[in-house]
Amino acid sequence: QDLFVEDVMPDDSGRYRTPDGDAAFETRDEVIKVRFGRDVHLTVRESRHGPILSDIALELAKAVGPGKAVALSFIGLNPKDTTVEAFRGMNRATDWLSFQSALKLWVSPEQNVTYADVDGHIAFTAVGELPIRKRPTDDLPAPGSSGAADWIGVSEFQQLPQAVDPPSHRFINANNRVAPPDFPLYVGNGDDNDPFRAERITEMLDGGSNFTADDFARMQLDVKEQEADLLLPHLLKAEPRTESGMQAIALLRAWDRMMPRDRAEPLIYSAWVSRLKQELIAKTLGPDTLGRGAFGYGFSPFLLTRLVAHQGDSAPGQMGDALDETMAALAKAYGANIANWRWGAAHPAALTSQLLGGIPVLGALFDIGLPAPGGQETVNRAGFGRTDFVHFPDAHGPGYRGVFDLANLDSSRFIIATGESGDPLSPHYGDLAERWRDGEAITLAGSADAVAATGIGRQRFLP
């Protein structure tokens, strides 16, 4: 997707500039039905690039200023999207060729698909159409009136990153880069790709052989904070002034980078890094950059290392001051005795009811969240978003896990954090949560008739 900034004609707000002269915005009235209320009518404007977002996104309109409009070009707006047909074909495929034929129908959103079958074949494909642009993408809104950045087509399936049966006998996909920097199609600039979990998976695979399903299940639960290998050599140069700060340095110097829920080091590390990120961004770029979303999930550790380097000789003192502030805040929240601090106490996995979770008071009664291990860059991901620097709710992780045994499919194991029911009044609502947290799983074996004969019941969904 791309954003295009359109130039609105100064004497006619219903028209905008194009490479071929001015043109009229297309408009339509969308009706949003509201139960027990009046219909909401929304007038949608479109340019040749797509719907105008700045008509409803006031911050976006303010950012571009008067006389401008921001349009969205997005593959997912294609009315001829055949992705549902791709799903149907994938579910009915009997080998790689029929599976690949189904993937060719995938339009949006862009996804990475891995494949394995009982005959020993594996494959990887990035699916979804990609725009082909007149000029290289720079990740900034493009000028709409000149046409210099317009789309001139979309990719063909064979142009996407893909491979079958590689000599390494493995594919590793964990939000890492899937194409080299010189790949002909633009599939991201790589700066926001996440190499850390893939590096850790590679490390674990390189450390063994003849892996079993149990081995892979253990890998899924790995909680090494891989980004700490990058950050700690810089952070440990900090010069704290307080005794608790110096104690923290000693703990982190001996820390094995693991993020279990019953240790203090993960809490100290996460709190310190989060606070330091904010303080250095404010110092380097100004306090106005600390707006909504600036410190949400996915903040790049590479940026933090650059920010630290940018401070020069003052970095050790600044990092030390941030650590002293961190330890004081944690002591206030969890007590003076560091030995009693627990990462899990600050890092619960929020598992709320999708039906009732948004209702004040009532929603909290059906939250089956638990103290959770893991962190931002662990294979068992448990990422947190915005933080008050003492609480780090687990907001992003593997709600579903599966390990498939292709030699004996009936021995494959699965787990869903909140179970399958979804009914807060069901006796089985939440009864898998602790198993999920602790890395346990269940098996699903037998034919549909066999499961029906031995199961505890059947749940039917009727319109």
Confidence of residue 220 (pLDDT cuts 50, 70, 90): very high
- Taking only the tens place, the pLDDT of each residue in 433-458 is 999 999 999 988 788 888 888 877 77
Helix (H) or strand (E) holding 100: helix 96-103
Place of tokens 């069901």: 426
DSSP 333: H
Confidence of residue 297 (pLDDT cuts 50, 70, 90): very low
Per DSSP, what are the bridge partners of residue 133?
151
If phi over 0 gives left and psi between -120 and 50 gives alpha, with beta otherwise, what is residue 416?
beta
Longest dimension (CA), the chain: 74
**Once rounded to an integer, what is the mean pLDDT over residues 196-211?**
95
Rounded Cα distance, 95 and 224, in Å: 36
Per DSSP, what are the bridge partners of residue 154?
131
DSSP 31: E
Rounded Cα distance, 435 and 2, in Å: 42
DSSP 383: B
The confidence score (pLDDT) of residue 190 equals 62
C-beta neighbour count of 439 within 10 angstroms:
14
- Residues 286/290/295/301 CA torsion (nearest 10 deg): 0
Residue 136's φ and ψ, nearest 5 degrees, are -60, 145
- Please tell me the pTM assigned to this model: 0.88
Q: Is residue 454 exposed (0-12), middle (13-18) or buried (19+ Cβ within 10 Å)? A: exposed
The confidence score (pLDDT) of residue 291 equals 54
Q: Point out the least confidently predicted range of 79-93, 124-138, 361-375, 417-431.
A: 417-431
Is a pLDDT exceeding 60 seen at residue 249? yes
Q: What angle do CA 16, 21, 23 make, to 5 degrees?
A: 40
Chain centroid to Cα 283, Å, comes to 28
Q: Cβ contacts of residue 317 below 8 Å, gap of 6+?
A: 239
Rounded Cα distance, 80 and 37, in Å: 33
Confidence of residue 114 (pLDDT cuts 50, 70, 90): very high
Is a pLDDT exceeding 60 seen at residue 298? no
Q: Cβ contacts of residue 62 below 8 Å, gap of 6+?
A: none
Which residue type occupies 369? G
Helix (H) or strand (E) holding 45: strand 40-47
**DSSP H helices in 335-416:** 343-346, 362-365
Q: At what angle do helices 315-334 and 265-285 cross, to 10 degrees?
A: 130
26-32 vs 40-47, strand pairing mode: antiparallel
End-to-end CA distance of the chain: 35
Is a pLDDT exceeding 90 seen at residue 137? no
Which residue type occupies 65? G
| Contact assessment for residue 124 and residue 163, using Cβ atoms and an 8 Å cutoff | yes
